[in-house]
Amino acid sequence: MNPQDNPNSENSDVGDVAAERVRIFDTTLRDGEQAPGFSMDRRAKLRMAHALEALGVDILEAGFPNASPDDFASVAEIARVLRGPTVAGLARCHDGDIDACARALQGAQRSRIHLFLSTSPLHREHKLNMSKQQVIDTACAAIERAKGLCHEVEFSAEDAMRTEPEYLVEVFSAAIAAGATTVNVPDTVGYTTPTEMGERIAYLRKHVRGADQVVFSTHCHDDLGMAVANSLAGVAAGARQVECTINGIGERAGNASMEEVVMALRVRGAFFGVDTGIDARKLYPTSRLLTQLTGQAVARNKAVVGENAFAHESGIHQHGMLKHRGTYEIMRPQDVGMGETKLVLGKHSGRHALRQRLQQLGHEPDEAAMDSIFARFKALADKKREVHDEDLEAIALGMDPEA
């Protein structure tokens, strides 16, 4: 989006200066795909991977190779054919997972093994039955093994946001010394708040040894509806990788939605001072492709890519939009590849929008005719959710739209 195309351009530096880059780590094909109702076969994953590459993601997490032979094959195929993004595979801190991941990623131009291990007290005690030191030793041994088998290693401290901050400093300091180049701070259960996330990233950047040699990353789940806000708070505090998915799909309530993160960073460029490498005009087509491949629609009122994201029905809003689109839109549908703003005609619509639509349909009623058309339109709109062009044509021609 060019600043001159942005109704809020005076508040935005997008396009003016080279903003610092935030890496987009897409996990649609791993965290997204592992959610109930969203599984994709190999062909679907490959199509999605090509779309994500065209979208400009920096890192594409293609799957969890040791989870199943099919996941292994999908990751291997994606690694072989993609040439743009770094291809990542997920692995627990187990030799079997690491070796399978490395084999699946062998053909990649640039490969990343994404290791994870829980660090929170709850997980240490009930899931892993490990002491604090055992967690650190296990993570470091896994990182040491993985780093010789791929180009780069990411380490995720699962349930990081419920982990003691001082202990997390020790975990990440050890992970960096062992060779991790990205350290990820997942809010695995979607429990944190933006303030906490911002403070945690700032604290880690200040205290972790070797912090200036690595990229800090967020990975936020949406259980309380704060995944995007938490990710953005992390970025404001210095995180330079955001893990997210198309349409926000993912475990339980999902992950941070990529389209929302990208457009928030772009529309509020002056506030954040960073940008991504995403071609935003491909966001909507990519969102649509995912709904087709999974059979799961997005909510009509979903931010950025929902059907209503650029639709206006109320008369007051439509009147404002007809005068200056900046009155009720902070970005254009074209910016996300969605076509045109829609002024939907329904019972809340006013005379201005009705007249404009009639003109687009080739009708130029005088004021008296307009009075009668408007009255008939309102009567029909009270009965129907949306008044379509065929209804308007009938009304304008004096016919009965319900006949």
Residue 291: HSE in the Cβ half-sphere, 13 Å Cα cutoff: 14
* Backbone φ and ψ of 91, nearest 5°: -150, 140
Residue closer to Zn ion by CB (options 31, 61) is: 31
Residue closer to Zn ion by CB (options 248, 306) is: 248
Task: Extract the tokens encoding 27.
Answer: 């996990």
Q: Give which of Zn ion, ligand KIV, none residue 158 binds (C-beta under 5 to 8 Å, depending on kind).
A: ligand KIV
Pairwise CA distance, residues 290 & 246, whole Å: 8
Q: Give which of Zn ion, ligand KIV, none residue 265 binds (C-beta under 5 to 8 Å, depending on kind).
A: none
Task: Extract the tokens encoding 11.
Answer: 């508040």
Residue number, nearest CB to Zn ion: 31
With contacts defined by CB under 5 A, name the span among 26-34, 65-73, 281-289, 390-398 that binds Zn ion.
26-34
Residue 118 C-beta: closest distance to Zn ion, Å: 12
Q: Give which of ligand KIV, Zn ion, none residue 116 binds (C-beta under 5 to 8 Å, depending on kind).
A: ligand KIV
Residue closer to Zn ion by CB (options 24, 280) is: 24
With contacts defined by CB under 5 A, name the span among 25-33, 123-131, 169-177, 312-320 that binds Zn ion.
25-33
Q: Give which of Zn ion, ligand KIV, none residue 214 binds (C-beta under 5 to 8 Å, depending on kind).
A: none
Q: Give which of ligand KIV, Zn ion, none residue 34 binds (C-beta under 5 to 8 Å, depending on kind).
A: none
Site for Zn ion in 27-46 (CB under 5 A): 31
Q: Give which of Zn ion, ligand KIV, none residue 156 binds (C-beta under 5 to 8 Å, depending on kind).
A: ligand KIV
Which residues does the annotation place in the binding site for Mn(2+)?
A: 31, 219, 221, 255
Pairwise CA distance, residues 207 & 200, whole Å: 11
Task: Extract the tokens encoding 55.
Answer: 């979208």
274-277, long-range: CB within 8 Å, 24+ apart, which pairs? Answer: 274/19, 274/20, 274/21, 274/22, 274/235, 274/240, 275/14, 275/19, 275/20, 275/21, 275/22, 276/21, 276/22, 276/23, 276/24, 276/56, 277/21, 277/24, 277/56, 277/58
Residue 152 C-beta: closest distance to Zn ion, Å: 20
Pairwise CA distance, residues 275 & 291, whole Å: 26
- CA distances 230 to 88, 93, 122, Å, are 23, 27, 22
26 lines the binding site for Zn ion (CB under 5 A): no
58 lines the binding site for Zn ion (CB under 5 A): no
Residue closer to ligand KIV by CB (options 243, 260) is: 243
288-294, long-range: CB within 8 Å, 24+ apart, which pairs? Answer: 289/47, 289/48, 289/51, 290/28, 290/48, 290/246, 290/247, 290/249, 291/247, 293/40, 293/44, 293/47, 293/48, 294/37, 294/38, 294/39, 294/40, 294/44, 294/249
Q: Give which of ligand KIV, Zn ion, none residue 200 binds (C-beta under 5 to 8 Å, depending on kind).
A: none
Residue 217, beta-bridge partner list: 184, 241
Residue 102's contacts (CB-CB under 8 Å, 6 or more residues apart) are 111, 113, 146, 149, 150
Residue 156 C-beta: closest distance to ligand KIV, Å: 4
Residue closer to ligand KIV by CB (options 93, 343) is: 93
Residue closer to ligand KIV by CB (options 30, 347) is: 30
Residue closer to ligand KIV by CB (options 12, 27) is: 27
The residue assigned the tokens 């610092």 is 20
Residue closer to Zn ion by CB (options 220, 353) is: 220
- Runs of H (alpha helix) within 161-268: 165-178, 194-207, 227-236, 258-267
User: Where on the chain is the footprint of ligand KIV (CB under 6 A)?
Assistant: 31, 90, 116, 156, 158, 184, 186, 188, 219, 221
Q: Give which of Zn ion, ligand KIV, none residue 241 binds (C-beta under 5 to 8 Å, depending on kind).
A: none
Which residues does the annotation place in the binding site?
A: 31, 219, 221, 255
Residue 251 C-beta: closest distance to ligand KIV, Å: 6
State the residues that interact with Zn ion by CB under 5 A: 31
